Amino acid sequence: MNPIAHSPHAHAPITVSRVMLLVMLALTPATLFGFWLYGWPAINVWVVSLLAALAGETLILRLQQRAIRPVLMDGSGILTAWLLALSLPPLAPWWIAVLGSFFAVIISKQLYGGLGQNPFNPAMAARVMLLISFPVEMTTWATPAPLGSTGAASWLDSLAVTFVGAHVDGMSSATLLGHVKTEFTRGIELQQALSGYYAPLDALWGHRGGSLGETAALLLLAGGVFLIYKKIITWHAPVAMLLGVVVPALFFSSINPAHYAGPLYHLLSGGLMLGAFFIITDPVTSPNTATGQFIFGLGCGLLTWIIRTWGGYPEGVAFAVMLMNAATPIIDHYVRPRIYGRNRRGVSMSIEPAKKES
């Protein structure tokens, strides 16, 4: 006999793989911009990351003797690798991408029990691992050399960069955040450090040195708005994270503009936009309730600003996200929706006849 089909006998037209596909769609403009801006090496890094994630997931599932096909088809591994690739330097060698993807899907995800079980965002965990273990490779940034321009690496050159570790002259530069941090250590003031290095309009479009897909602030913002419109994510965490950066930046820069950068500088630098709309909205590692997500986002933003401003690393998004991931269970423990007919502590409302004027 058939098992009893349980109500509801209707379902919203949504699946996990559709969610993942929509997120990938939202990432596509910023990714294509990264491909264009940094040329073939960037494409290589992206392709290698995705292939490595598929291979790594196949390997671990085989070892665990679990069904491979449904896991690969849900798209979560590919999305993780995609996000990781966007946070890597475009000139990264192939093994950085492979190691990162393997770490993300095998150690950060499948060893915890697979999709939905990991406490830390796999892409950010992999990025932090790479940054700590291979600081040189992870901070060698490319000067923008758009495809088709004279400075762009040809496809064959790019293979040498990615797979042989060839160094191309004039291709590397520092990121804005890295540059400012270095200048600070030399005792140079902010305005001076920024001059000639920071053009807000370029930063808005993303025409600057940086990670593969983190620089195009506007395109990332558009992708995020698309996801909010599609009801895949809500505004709470992203808006809170941006506020968490903007509010202290505004406050401190108005007190001491010589040392503290303003909000626009922070908004348009590093991985903030990618983090706010695509990383901290990862449902698995963020709280369940709207209020919880707001607190989570605010924490991510504040920690990012603190690490950027006072920490040893120029960029803090990945660290901030992991720290707040660790706080997710406790946020979920304390922040719960109020149940109908009960107060916030879960006690039933008093059974008093309603006092209503007639």
Partner 1 sequence: MKLFKLRGGVHPQGRKELASERAIRVLPMPDRLFIPLQQHVGAPAQPLVKVGDHVLKGQLIAASQGFISAPVHASTSGRIVAIGDYAAAHSSGLAAPTVTIASDGDDRWLETDSPSDPFSLSPEEIAARVGAAGIVGLGGATFPSAVKLSLSRKNNVRTLIINGGECEPYITCDDRLMRERASDIIEGVRLIRHAVGAVDVMVGIEENKPAALLAMRAAASGTEVKVIAVPAMYPMGWDKQMIRALTGCEVPADGRSADIGVLVHNVATAYAVHEAVRFGRPLVSRLVTVSGGAVAEPGNLVVPIGTLVETLFQYCGGFSEKPARLVLGGPMMGSELFSAAVPVVKGTSGVLALTAREIGSTQAAPCIRCSSCVRACPVGLLPLEMAAHIRAGNSNAAVSRGLKDCIACGCCSFVCPSHIPLVHYFNFAKGELMEQERGKLKLEATKKLADERMARTQRIEREREAAAAKRKAAREAKEAAAKLTQTITEAA
Interacting residue ranges for partner 1, rule: CB under 8 A: 2, 4-16, 18-19, 70, 74, 76, 114-117, 234, 283-284, 286, 288-290, 332, 336-342, 346, 348-354, 356, 358
As a three-state string, the secondary structure of 260-307 is CCCHHHHHCCCCHHHHHHHHCCCCCCCCCCHHHHHHHHHHHHHHHHHH
* Minimal distance, residue 1 CB to partner 1, in Å: 8
Query: Is the CB of residue 173 less than 8 Å from the CB of residue 209?
Result: yes
**Helices and strands in the chain: count of H runs, count of E runs:** 17, 2
* Minimal distance, residue 28 CB to partner 1, in Å: 21
* CA 91 to centroid of chain Cα atoms: 19
Whole-number Å distance between alpha carbons of 50 and 93: 14
* Minimal distance, residue 283 CB to partner 1, in Å: 4
Using only C-alpha atoms, the chain has a radius of gyration, in whole angstroms, of 22
Whole-number Å distance between alpha carbons of 102 and 111: 11
**Shorter beta-carbon distance to partner 1: residue 9 or 186:** 9
* Minimal distance, residue 14 CB to partner 1, in Å: 5
Query: Is the CB of residue 331 less than 8 Å from the CB of residue 125?
Result: no
* Minimal distance, residue 326 CB to partner 1, in Å: 15
**Shorter beta-carbon distance to partner 1: residue 245 or 276:** 276
**Shorter beta-carbon distance to partner 1: residue 76 or 87:** 76
Whole-number Å distance between alpha carbons of 160 and 166: 5
What is the total residue count of the chain? 358
* Minimal distance, residue 226 CB to partner 1, in Å: 17
**Shorter beta-carbon distance to partner 1: residue 259 or 333:** 333
**Shorter beta-carbon distance to partner 1: residue 31 or 118:** 118
The conformation of residue 107, written as its DSSP 8-state character, comes to: I
**Shorter beta-carbon distance to partner 1: residue 114 or 224:** 114
